[in-house]
Amino acid sequence: MDKKKAAVELIKKCEGRKLVAYKCSAGKWTIGFGNTKRPSGVPIKPGDTCTAEEAETWLKSHLETDVYPFVDKLCKGYDVPDSVWSALCSFAYNAGVGHFTKLSFTKPVLTGDWGTWEGTETLIKGRIDYKTTKATGLCATFVKYDKETVKGKLEFNQGLHNRRVAEIKFMLKGLG
């Protein structure tokens, strides 16, 4: 499967589609496939609706304008497997590109350290903490982003956790 099509399918699976605006767990008005604004830049507000076709268009617009160019730039010149590229797109679509300035994201891309399920699984199940784990690579980094800020405090979010697990499994499945 084409890496862009794979990214779209992963994002759709993780986001789901809502045609009426709702407040996501982070408190942002959201519509379609997790969009917080229209392609024109206008923020989503209570009472907004969209058609299934608009949801598709907005998803593709956000990917083509913001996500794909950023992930392409991050991966340029490095041997990044398609499944990793698609998982990076899903993460960037959900969390934004700002997180990628952190060394924990750039180092695995530079070194080709994608991590393993064995090392990451212990983090996912919460048996060890991030500071003492032997889990490495991009998988271990993804797991760290299963929290959101609520009233100024960083709190675990089951939905984000499930998404990170789906992204990790997708990435590793593509690596063989």
What does the pLDDT look like over 136-145, one tens digit per residue?
789 888 888 8
pLDDT value of position 100: 75
Q: How far is it, in rounded angstroms, from Cα 100 to Cα 37?
A: 21
Q: How far is it, in rounded angstroms, from Cα 172 to Cα 176?
A: 7
Under the banding of pLDDT at 50, 70 and 90, the label for residue 65 is very high
Distant-in-sequence, close-in-space partners of 154: CB < 8 Å, separation ≥ 6: 147, 148
pLDDT value of position 12: 98
Q: How far is it, in rounded angstroms, from Cα 153 to Cα 7?
A: 31
Q: Which CATH architecture has domain 3-175?
A: Orthogonal Bundle (1.10)
pLDDT value of position 93: 95
pLDDT value of position 117: 75
Query: Which of 49-53, 116-120, 122-126, 151-155 is modeled with the greatest confidence?
Result: 49-53
Q: How far is it, in rounded angstroms, from Cα 62 to Cα 48?
A: 18
123/97: higher pLDDT: 97
Query: Which of 87-96, 118-127, 167-176 is modeled with the greatest confidence?
Result: 87-96
pLDDT value of position 131: 56
What residue has token string 């032997």?
A: 134
- 167 with 10: CB under 8 angstroms? yes
pLDDT at residue 120 tops 80 = no
pLDDT value of position 128: 47
Q: How far is it, in rounded angstroms, from Cα 165 to Cα 61?
A: 26
DSSP strand pairing (147-150 vs 153-156): antiparallel
Average pLDDT over residues 50-61: 97
135/72: higher pLDDT: 72
pLDDT value of position 166: 93
